A and B are shown apart, each in its own frame.
Chain A
Amino acid sequence: MDTTSLPDELVTYTLIVNGTTHTVDAGWQGESLLYVLRERLGQPAAKNACEQGECGSCSVLLDERLVCACLVMAASAEGQRVTTVEGLAPTDSGLSDVQAAFVQAGAVQCGFCTPGLVMAVHDLLDHTPSPTDLEMREAISGNLCRCTGYGRIFEAIKNAAAARMNG
């Protein structure tokens, strides 16, 4: 990355988002991955709320690790693989299994927290196919939902896990 010709704190770099390489041209280096996804790359699934890692609504995978996109300096993620909700569903159908389970269980109310929760649940089930109740609670402990009371979210997780086990 040659930045010598750019004004102070402006950087140009590439990000790999859902398998597609994007160039971010002369972005301010302090921009978070969340900001760049939403405002520069037109990928609005990760939601912007607390900007301090408290709410989980911006959860994405960075090299297969679940992180808060608001706490990733975007320019530092050059060359790393970013997966957002936009990249979860197989191309031949509209929803991933976890998304479908959320719909079927009625686990979505206002929907703001849903993309982050869906990312967290995918991450959980990819590593822990048959989670206990405690594992489920810990897995989504960083994702705040102010609408549902979580009951139907847990139902959706259980249904998605069962479907994978039987699948």
Chain B
Amino acid sequence: MPIATPHSLDDALRALQADPESQFLAGGTDFMVEVNAGHRRPGSVIALSRIPELKTIDLTDTTLRIGAGVTYSQFQQPPISSTHPALAAAARTVGSPQIRNAGTIGGNVGTASPAGDTLPVLAALDAHIELTSVHRLTRLVGWRDFFVGVKRTSLRPDELITAITLPVLDSRQDYLKVGTRNAMVISVAGLALVVDLGGRNVRVALGSVGPVPLRAPEAETWVAEQIDWESPRVVDPRTYETFGMMVAHAATPITDHRSTADYRRHAIGVMAQRALMRLL
């Protein structure tokens, strides 16, 4: 069957089992660009837009579970905007209202573009990707094991991305991005910063400066020691600049049609410094 429009997760998995070559269609904001340009034959398609189980947002005291079909627009609303402001900030930089109404977190994760705007946030928060197989087996894969290369993931052919899970932290968070203009722009470099007040640690993750999202562990460890966690504040104002340099050092950018490696590394340093100033 060329296109299936299942109304339940069970029907979607059954369709995948019946035709393992099927491609999943989520929001279409990447998929249809390729089809329109003649770069992709749709083949057998399983459209995921009608599946209620993929649209749920479940919040507990410790965990946020976001169904794979939740859109960027929904990130900009409570509860996600309250518990995970970096996700809301990242979503706000994606495309336009039209794109944010269609594009989904499952699609962003599944496409696994180095420029995917939610990816640094998921990396900073140590997200897990929930995958469900046609045999109804569910596994949770940490982001490091899920993103394995440029647009490559460890999703198996008999699996569907069903949700993303994130810890709920007592934290301050932000996402910053550089592009050629404010709206409708693909990231030249992106950075997510989380200051975990409860855990007294700092997490920083970088996008568009490597094949997969990157963390900057040395900078994270160092900067956590420069913070007076009781206040909380940065004790020495020189910390910001040093943190920026250390984070920039962790980037592994390339030069391509969108920017140069040098500029990307510079931008990462500026954003790291700026994000820390915003949060502390």
B-contacting residues of A (Cβ < 8 Å)? 1, 3-4, 6, 8-11, 29-30, 32, 51-54, 56, 59, 65-68, 70-73, 75-76, 78-79, 120, 123, 138-139, 141-143
Q: Do A73 and B42 touch (CB < 8 A)?
A: yes
A-contacting residues of B (Cβ < 8 Å)? 1-3, 5, 25, 27-29, 31-33, 35-37, 41-43, 45, 47, 49, 73, 95-99, 101-102, 182-184
Rank and list the top 8 A-B pairs by shortest CB-CB distance, nearest first: A142-B96, A141-B183, A76-B47, A51-B36, A71-B32, A30-B42, A52-B33, A29-B2
Residue of B nearest to A54 (CB): B184
User: A76 with B45: in contact, given A3-B1, A32-B32, A53-B95 (CB under 8 Å)?
Assistant: yes
Q: Do A56 and B28 touch (CB < 8 A)?
A: no
Q: Could you tell me the distance between the alpha carbons of A66 and B99 in the complex, rounded to whole angstroms? A: 9
Beyond A8-B2, A30-B42, A68-B102, 14 extra complex contacts between A and B, CB < 8 Å: A9-B41, A29-B2, A32-B32, A51-B33, A56-B98, A65-B101, A72-B28, A75-B3, A120-B98, A139-B97, A141-B96, A142-B95, A142-B97, A143-B96
Q: Could you tell me the distance between the alpha carbons of A79 and B3 in the complex, rounded to whole angstroms? A: 14
Q: Do B102 and A4 touch (CB < 8 A)?
A: no
For B5, the chain A residues whose CB sits under 8 A away are: 1, 75-76, 78-79
A–B Cβ pairs within 8 angstroms, 6 of them: A67-B98, A71-B33, A73-B28, A123-B97, A139-B97, A141-B97
Residue of B nearest to A139 (CB): B97
For B25, the chain A residues whose CB sits under 8 A away are: 73, 76
Residue of B nearest to A76 (CB): B47
Pick the residue among B31, B37, B49, B184 that contacts A142 (CB under 8 A): B184
For A67, the chain B residues whose CB sits under 8 A away are: 98, 101-102
User: A9 with B42: in contact, given A32-B32, A53-B33, A76-B49 (CB under 8 Å)?
Assistant: yes
For B3, the chain A residues whose CB sits under 8 A away are: 1, 3, 11, 29, 73, 75-76
User: A142 with B2: in contact, given A52-B36, A71-B33, A76-B25 (CB under 8 Å)?
Assistant: no
Q: Could you tell me the distance between the alpha carbons of A114 and B226 in the complex, rounded to whole angstroms? A: 54
Q: Specify which of A1, A4, A139, A141 lies most central, judged by the most chain B CB atoms within 10 Å of its CB.
A: A141
Number of CB contacts from chain A to chain B under 8 A: 107
Q: Could you tell me the distance between the alpha carbons of A123 and B100 in the complex, rounded to whole angstroms? A: 14
Task: Give chain A nearest CB distance to B26 CB in angstroms.
Answer: 10
Q: Specify which of A56, A67, A71, A72 lies most central, judged by the most chain B CB atoms within 10 Å of its CB.
A: A71
Q: Could you tell me the distance between the alpha carbons of A9 and B45 in the complex, rounded to whole angstroms? A: 10
Q: Do A68 and B98 touch (CB < 8 A)?
A: yes
For B96, the chain A residues whose CB sits under 8 A away are: 53, 56, 141-143
Task: Give chain B nearest CB distance to A82 CB in angstroms.
Answer: 13
Q: Do A138 and B97 touch (CB < 8 A)?
A: yes
For A73, the chain B residues whose CB sits under 8 A away are: 3, 25, 28, 31-32, 35, 42, 45, 47
Q: Specify which of A1, A8, A65, A67 lies most central, judged by the most chain B CB atoms within 10 Å of its CB.
A: A67
Residue of B nearest to A143 (CB): B96
Task: Give chain B nearest CB distance to A80 CB in angstroms.
Answer: 8
Q: Do B102 and A70 touch (CB < 8 A)?
A: no
For A79, the chain B residues whose CB sits under 8 A away are: 5
Q: Do A66 and B101 touch (CB < 8 A)?
A: yes
Task: Give chain A nearest CB distance to B256 CB in angstroms.
Answer: 18
For B42, the chain A residues whose CB sits under 8 A away are: 9, 29-30, 73
Q: Do A30 and B98 touch (CB < 8 A)?
A: no
Residue of B nearest to A55 (CB): B184
Residue of A nearest to B96 (CB): A142
Q: Could you tell me the distance between the alpha carbons of A139 and B101 in the complex, rounded to whole angstroms? A: 12
For B183, the chain A residues whose CB sits under 8 A away are: 138, 141-142
Q: Do B1 and A4 touch (CB < 8 A)?
A: yes
For A78, the chain B residues whose CB sits under 8 A away are: 5
For B102, the chain A residues whose CB sits under 8 A away are: 65, 67-68, 71-72
Q: Do A53 and B101 touch (CB < 8 A)?
A: no
